[in-house]
Amino acid sequence: MNIDSLLNKTVFELKSYAKKNGIQLNDAKKKEDILKIISEFIPTEKEEVKEEKVLNKMAVHSTRNIHWAGLGNLKIGYNVISLKQAEVMLTHKAVRSVTTEELVSYYGK
């Protein structure tokens, strides 16, 4: 949701939106004060683009340090690389793809 879509909401709807998203309004009662507080929690376009870039990445595991001219480097262990790099790097015998579950268990989350 962006700030433009919130401009048409009533004060009650804005308070409901804030409560649903865990945004503290404190003593704000006017629509413009509420919008100012909520706008601090809405991601900007740059932040949204960063999220899209993450979707074009893949995790791989390398058993050796690898340098591939024109493509990049891999260190021993887990690496996050672009899908384009992964397509080529996975042809190397020391590189394999990893699952999300494997990463989660390795990093202990």
Digit-coded pLDDT (tens) for 12-70: 888 888 888 888 888 888 888 888 888 887 765 555 555 555 578 899 999 999 999 88
Query: Quick one: pLDDT at residue 23?
Result: 84
Query: Quick one: pLDDT at residue 85?
Result: 93
Kindly list the distances between the CA atom of residue 31 and the CA atoms of 9, 12, 73, in Å, as whole numbers in the listed order. 9, 9, 52
Q: Are 59 and 34 in contact (CB under 8 A)?
A: no
Query: Quick one: pLDDT at residue 46?
Result: 56
Higher pLDDT, 55 or 104: 104
Give CA–CA dist 59/106, Å, rounded.
12
